[in-house]
């Protein structure tokens, strides 16, 4: 009698577990860190495109050691603030979306390549694939730039 109860319990547990996995979408893959960063980049650029003063979400995606072509995160923040103040009603920031993101080639310091398709849908739709450096930590990935001075 006791083994019959145990078998029924295991049967119900396994059926309930399968039902829970199906109900929760267990057949699909989890959202990757690359997709999360890609969505954040798209959202940040969309915010700037709608209002030039909305640049803080973009700046928050830059690592504190960000450096690209001699520009630091602080330099970019200053430039975006100046552009917003100079042209508050003339949004000239590109409206771009990011997709097909892949993070690869990570080293021991968790410095990686982010390869992503960038699509600009202004007057016509133009897409290109680009690769940039990102660094990962417990909070996710941030852009670090190429670390160049010029």
Using the predicted structure, report yes or no on whether residue 9 has a pLDDT greater than 50: no
The answer to whether the beta carbons of residues 98 and 42 sit under 8 Å apart is yes
pTM for this entry: 0.72
Using the predicted structure, report yes or no on whether residue 24 has a pLDDT greater than 80: no
Using the predicted structure, report yes or no on whether residue 99 has a pLDDT greater than 60: yes
**Domain ranges in the chain?**
1-30, 32-143
Three-class secondary structure assignment of 76-128: HHHHHHHHHHHCCCCCCCCCEEEEEEEEECCCCCCEEEEEEEEEEECCCEEEE
The CATH code that applies to domain 32-143 is 3.10.450.50
């Amino acid at each position: 009698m006791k083994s019959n109860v145990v078998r029924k319990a295991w049967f119900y547990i396994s059926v309930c577990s399968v039902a829970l996995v199906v109900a929760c979408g267990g057949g699909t893959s989890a959202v990757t860190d690359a997709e999360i960063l890609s969505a954040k980049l798209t959202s940040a650029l969309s915010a700037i495109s709608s209002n030039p003063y909305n640049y803080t979400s973009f700046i928050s995606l830059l690592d504190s050691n960000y450096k690209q072509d001699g520009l630091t995160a602080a330099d970019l923040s200053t430039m975006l603030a100046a552009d917003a103040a100079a042209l508050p009603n003339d949004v000239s920031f590109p409206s771009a979306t990011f997709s097909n993101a892949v993070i690869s080639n990570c080293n021991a310091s968790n410095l990686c390549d982010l390869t992503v398709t960038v699509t600009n849908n202004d007057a016509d739709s133009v897409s290109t694939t680009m690769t940039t450096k990102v660094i990962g930590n417990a909070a996710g990935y941030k852009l670090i730039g190429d670390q160049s001075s010029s």
